[in-house]
Amino acid sequence: MNLKGIVFICLSLLFVCLSTSFAINPDEVQETGEFTNYKELRQHIGELYQQKNYQEAADLLERALDRFPDHILANTYNLSLMYTHLAEYTKGAQALLSGLEHDIFYSKYAFVGKIWAPLKKTDAFKKFKEQNEAIRIEAQKKAKPEILVLKPEGFTASKKYPQFIVTPNIGHWFPENMDNKIDSAIDFIQKKEK
């Protein structure tokens, strides 16, 4: 396994990636108004959120659920967040239940912020929480701690290497945002080796 692969594995567990602040290039948006890839969608959703344009963000996320099935966790969570900002709590809980139907579950810490308080009072959220907790507990029974030691290509015991100790972080990580972080870590390591 090469150094980039090792760093990716380590950082993917460590970083919680948020949407970036880069502007969307209008040439990259299809004529239908939909985005050509998930990274563009995330960037635009982040912009809409910053602008407090929750309805447009919710509409876009609704359409994205089927289009980007590999990102159901993030999309249903963010959709619920948008509906919560819009005080449409039933729709917010339905978005989360939709995630459960796609065989995912949410961290028990995912809803601790004050923004979630009104949603958490609803019967629909209580139903979601009960189902989510049952799935989470079942998954936890199957989970086992693992220690993974990866050595770089050409490893020799006589040479000093940087050590990364990584523990899972509460929250979400998004692989599409990891490339810059991996490259930065590799640059750092290479500078330290010189």
CATH number of residue 10's parent domain: 1.25.40
What whole-number distance in Å separates Cα of residue 92 and Cα of residue 145?
33
pLDDT, average across residues 23-41 = 58
pLDDT tens-digit map of 112-155:
889 999 999 999 999 999 999 999 999 888 887 777 787 888 88
Question: Is a pLDDT exceeding 90 seen at residue 29?
Answer: no
- How many residues comprise the chain? 194
**Could you say which DSSP state residue 41 is in?**
H
What whole-number distance in Å separates Cα of residue 78 and Cα of residue 69?
14
What whole-number distance in Å separates Cα of residue 110 and Cα of residue 171?
7
The owner of tokens 């989510």 is 132
| Global confidence as pTM | 0.63
Question: Is a pLDDT exceeding 70 seen at residue 33?
Answer: no
Query: Which of residues 80 and 164 earns the better pLDDT score?
Result: 80
pLDDT band at 194 (very low <50, low <70, confident <90, very high): low
pLDDT band at 54 (very low <50, low <70, confident <90, very high): very high
Domain limits for position 135: 3-193
Question: Is a pLDDT exceeding 90 seen at residue 5?
Answer: no
pLDDT of 183: 55
Contacts of 183 (CB under 8 A, 6+ apart): none
pLDDT of 193: 58
Coil vs helix vs strand at 23: coil
| 6 neighbors 150 (Cβ within 8 angstroms) | yes
What whole-number distance in Å separates Cα of residue 60 and Cα of residue 93?
17
User: For residue 110, with 0-12 CB atoms within 10 Å meaning exposed, 13-18 middle and 19 or more buried, which class applies?
Assistant: middle
pLDDT, average across residues 41-46 = 93
pLDDT of 106: 93
User: For residue 82, with 0-12 CB atoms within 10 Å meaning exposed, 13-18 middle and 19 or more buried, which class applies?
Assistant: buried
What whole-number distance in Å separates Cα of residue 88 and Cα of residue 78?
13
What whole-number distance in Å separates Cα of residue 194 and Cα of residue 187?
11
List the structure tokens of 132: 């989510």
What whole-number distance in Å separates Cα of residue 56 and Cα of residue 82?
9
Number of domains in the chain: 1
Q: CA nearest 132: which of 94, 170, 163, 106?
A: 106
**Could you say which DSSP state residue 29 is in?**
B
pLDDT of 77: 95
Question: Is a pLDDT exceeding 50 seen at residue 12?
Answer: no
pLDDT of 147: 77
